[in-house]
């Protein structure tokens, strides 16, 4: 067998519970595509941090200005507590909503501030708070003199369960969410800006998910889900909304809603490429049954943590950019992670009663699984591949040059920082450790099996080749 046809078949890029929740959508046997990062969260993208402030207070009839209160703030720091603006782009499926700061992103291609998400009538106070927080922390363009300007990115959805006209979110609450931002697991469901939200006639809120790509990059998504009708609600192609017709909110004025989606990646993308990512988000919303209805604010932002230091003032900046031919993995990752993030929000959300006794019921896990089984779409959760974090010391024994007598004459396993990759000819594919102990070569059907003095490359049916180590 000749080498190059085999490599083309094996190594061409495919068109493509660790967040602190007890149960996430993947644990229910929903047949998701792709392999998530170890946290299955936007914080799998190195440097990204998330924090929440959640306000739940009072019960009973609405008394404007007093409650009941069901709201909050969610904050995302693209590079943590480092002032280093990221390239970004925005897109709106339907614009009946607000995301401040988008004009400068469209003009300059950069996002210079944290991202905050709250309720519709608290955008102003949160926007002002972001400026004050950046000033107070010195995380801005001129921390010594304060001679800087910026346009915070603050987005919203309308929390019907909340005394929204009471405007209970304060500057302190926004500061608390920003101060709480951290890497690691991300709380989901009835938290932060998603506290009082409803999605597809069930309780909605905050959700997150991630995907790893064969080209070696990570993409993460965070959503604030407050959109969609029940009748069109689909999961994995199954009309769940037509099968679970009860447990509807006990108030008629529920048709309006919105969804905010934040897409983050460490792939070095330029603003037009990030625009292309943001434009793929509606494909996931459509899968779920959303149509961008007239009353919905479906607004998205995508940013890249690649090209650190590109914004800094100097005569010129050298930039890296992923070739457009390598974008397909990221397109698939965007769609898959957005779909899973929405479902993670709904699976994590618990039944909540807000103003005037309005109740949004949780999506029932057992009934969802029963519907998926009936339509032949349920899978054993353990069959869904999950990447796990691996220390570099555990990867180093695999690093080296390999040679085989079969169709793969030479190969190399390389370690770049904390990322392991398999190189065969001009092809380079990321290797990750799965929860079941396998080493998966992403973007292929191959697993890498370490052996004494070498490795075996395995596809789904057989050993493809056995390679001996010939040097480090």
Please give the positions annotated as active site.
258, 296, 298
Report phi then psi at 13, rounded to 5: -60, 135
Q: Which helix (H) or strand (E) holds 450?
A: strand 446-451
Q: Which residue has the tokens 């992670």?
A: 337
Copy the structure tokens of residue 272: 């037009």
Dihedral sign computed on CA atoms, order 94, 96, 102, 103: positive
Q: Is the dihedral of CA 73, 78, 83, 87 positive or negative?
A: negative
Q: Is residue 124 left, alpha or beta, with left meaning phi > 0 and alpha meaning psi from -120 to 50?
A: alpha
Beta pairing partners, 440: 432, 447
Q: Are the C-beta atoms of residues 392 and 431 closer than 8 Å to each other?
A: no
Residues 6 or more apart whose Cβ sits within 8 Å of residue 2: 407
Pairing of strands 86-95, 153-157: unpaired
Distance, in Å, from the CA atom of 339 to the CA atom of 187, rounded to the nearest integer, reads 17
């Amino acid at each position: 067998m000749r080498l190059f046809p085999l490599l083309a078949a094996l190594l061409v890029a495919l068109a493509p519970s660790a967040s602190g929740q007890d149960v996430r959508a993947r644990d229910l046997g929903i047949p998701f595509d792709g392999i998530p990062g170890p946290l299955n969260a936007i914080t799998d993208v190195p440097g990204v941090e998330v924090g929440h402030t959640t306000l739940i207070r009072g019960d009973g009839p609405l008394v404007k200005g007093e409650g009941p209160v069901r709201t909050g703030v969610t904050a995302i720091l693209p590079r943590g507590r480092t002032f280093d603006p990221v390239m970004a782009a925005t897109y709106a499926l339907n614009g009946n909503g607000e995301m401040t700061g988008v004009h400068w992103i469209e003009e300059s291609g950069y996002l210079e501030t944290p991202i905050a998400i709250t309720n519709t009538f608290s955008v102003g106070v949160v926007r002002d708070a972001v400026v004050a927080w950046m000033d107070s922390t010195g995380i801005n363009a001129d921390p010594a003199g304060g001679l800087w300007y910026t346009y915070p990115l603050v987005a919203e959805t309308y929390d019907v369960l909340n005394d929204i006209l009471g405007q209970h979110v304060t500057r302190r609450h926004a500061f608390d969410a920003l101060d709480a931002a951290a890497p690691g697991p991300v709380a989901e469901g009835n938290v932060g800006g998603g506290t009082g939200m409803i999605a597809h006639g069930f309780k909605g809120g905050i959700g997150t998910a991630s995907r790893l790509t064969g080209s070696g990059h990570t993409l993460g998504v965070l959503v604030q889900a407050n959109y969609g009708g029940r009748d069109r609600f689909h999961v994995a192609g199954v009309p769940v909304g037509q099968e679970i017709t009860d447990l509807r909110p006990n108030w008629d004025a529920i048709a309006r809603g919105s969804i905010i989606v934040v897409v983050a990646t460490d792939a070095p993308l330029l603003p037009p490429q990030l625009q292309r990512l943001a434009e793929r988000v509606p494909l996931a919303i459509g899968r779920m049954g959303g149509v961008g209805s007239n009353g919905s604010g479906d607004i998205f932002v995508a940013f890249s943590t690649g090209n650190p230091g590109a914004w800094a003032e100097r005569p010129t900046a050298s930039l890296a950019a992923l070739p457009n031919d390598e974008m397909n993995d990221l397109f698939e990752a965007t769609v898959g992670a957005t779909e899973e993030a929405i479902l993670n929000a709904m699976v994590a959300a618990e039944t909540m009663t807000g103003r005037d006794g309005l109740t949004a019921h949780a999506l029932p896990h057992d009934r969802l699984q029963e519907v998926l089984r009936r339509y032949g779409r349920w899978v054993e959760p353990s069959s869904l591949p999950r990447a796990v974090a691996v220390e570099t010391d555990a990867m180093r024994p695999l690093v080296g040059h390999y040679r085989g007598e079969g169709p793969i004459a030479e190969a190399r396993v390389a370690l770049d920082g904390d990322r392991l990759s398999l190189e065969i000819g001009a092809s380079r594919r990321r290797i990750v450790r799965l929860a079941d102990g396998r080493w998966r070569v992403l973007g292929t059907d191959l697993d890498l099996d370490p052996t004494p003095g070498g490795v075996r490359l395995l596809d789904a049916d057989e050993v493809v080749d056995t390679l001996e180590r010939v040097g480090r």
